[in-house]
Amino acid sequence: MRVPLVALFCGLALLSATISPVHAAKMDPVVRKAVDRSLDWLASQQKKQGYWEANGGQYRVAMTALAGNAMISEGSTTTRGKYAKNVRAAVDYLVELAKNNPSRNGLIGFKNDYHYTYGHGYSMLFLSQVFGEEEDSARRDELKQVLTKAVQFCIFAQTSAGGWGYVSAKDGNDFDEGSTCVTQVQGLRACRNAGIPVPKECIERAVEYIRKCTTPEGGVQYSIKGGGARPPITAAAIACLFNSGEPESDYTKKLLAYCKSNLSPSGEDRNSFGQWHYAHYYYAQVLYRQGGPEWKAYHSAISKTILRRQSHDGSWQEGHIGAVYVTSINATILQLQNGYLPIYQR
């Protein structure tokens, strides 16, 4: 799911903040060039309606939020920066989608998308970051309404066990699993940090769900019913625990130790459940917040791994979901040190 840990529960202060790198480190020129090429490629792939899509025209909502997030990580907003036009078009698309949802229930997405909670969670994350920087008062009110209803839908969609599935509890017969759960938690935390009301109990139930999915070794399983510990879901769970105010708990340290044993920035873990980019998208956030020599070593290694696989056009043509997905994630990882987004800041 970007706020400094010292201000974790001071979300209202973010509303008047301006985007500025709080702890930005100077980006290596080679990395900077790679990021510029990747963002230019993403800009070229945006549809005239404002959205991005995965292979086969799938996951428009999730891809739009992830690509938009990569662009605002560069420092662009809806009104300023190289990608202001792209960011504004992405926001317009998601806002109109939410407003024109036939069910009027707060879902940012399509009911016929059998993975719509992913897009909903990523959209809450993206729009909440944009919300704090929006200068137009009417637009801010509109974003606030969209995010408030999005949170309400999240609460409605939560299962009896405290998790989330690919669709709402009602649409999915109360099915839930780990990856969609952590996507919702990070989106909810981002909204709360931006001043949108989020019931504490909703997040507490979700954190408890994640705990119940954890094996004695510290890995988080596919779901509360089992499915085996998975490093990608474990990494995502740690990021959510950081967002939920548990960065130094013994439980968090246990999960982190599991990830350190099962995730490698050099790419040796690339076959782990086929979700290498997803895993390091979250794992990088955790190590960046921790900082120190471990983060520097990790960042150096993963940057080399990512850049080694970049295509000539600036994209990353990997995975079954598609280049927009992988390029958005890689560009975000490489830009964490910019410190522009509150949810990623130390």
Stronger pLDDT, 6 or 135, i.e. the higher one: 135
Percentage of the chain beyond pLDDT 70 is 90
**Residue 290 burial by Cβ neighbours in a 10 Å radius (0-12, 13-18, 19+):** middle
pLDDT of residue 49: 98
pLDDT of residue 12: 29
Stronger pLDDT, 1 or 342, i.e. the higher one: 342
pLDDT (tens digit per residue) in 159-195: 999 999 999 999 999 999 999 999 999 999 999 999 9
| 273: containing domain | 5-344
CATH classification of the domain holding 9: 1.50.10.20
The total of structural domains in the chain comes to 1
pLDDT (tens digit per residue) in 292-307: 999 999 999 999 999 9
CA-to-CA separations, 236 to 37, 44, 210, 223, in angstroms, rounded: 27, 29, 10, 14
Of 332, 344, 345, 342, nearest to 74 by C-alpha is 332
Stronger pLDDT, 192 or 7, i.e. the higher one: 192
How does residue 345 score in pLDDT terms, banded at 50, 70 and 90?
Answer: confident
pLDDT (tens digit per residue) in 20-62: 444 445 789 999 999 999 999 999 999 999 999 999 999 999 9
Classify 334 in phi/psi space as left (phi over 0), alpha (psi -120 to 50) or beta.
Answer: alpha
Long-range pairs, 196-204, Cβ under 8 A, ≥24: 196/11, 196/128, 196/131, 196/144, 196/147, 196/148, 196/151, 197/148, 197/151, 198/151, 199/155, 202/154, 202/155, 202/158, 203/244
pLDDT (tens digit per residue) in 55-109: 999 999 999 999 999 999 999 999 999 999 999 999 999 999 999 988 879 999 9
pLDDT (tens digit per residue) in 185-229: 999 999 999 999 999 999 999 999 999 999 999 999 999 999 889
- Look at the chain and count its residues: 346
Global pTM?
Answer: 0.91
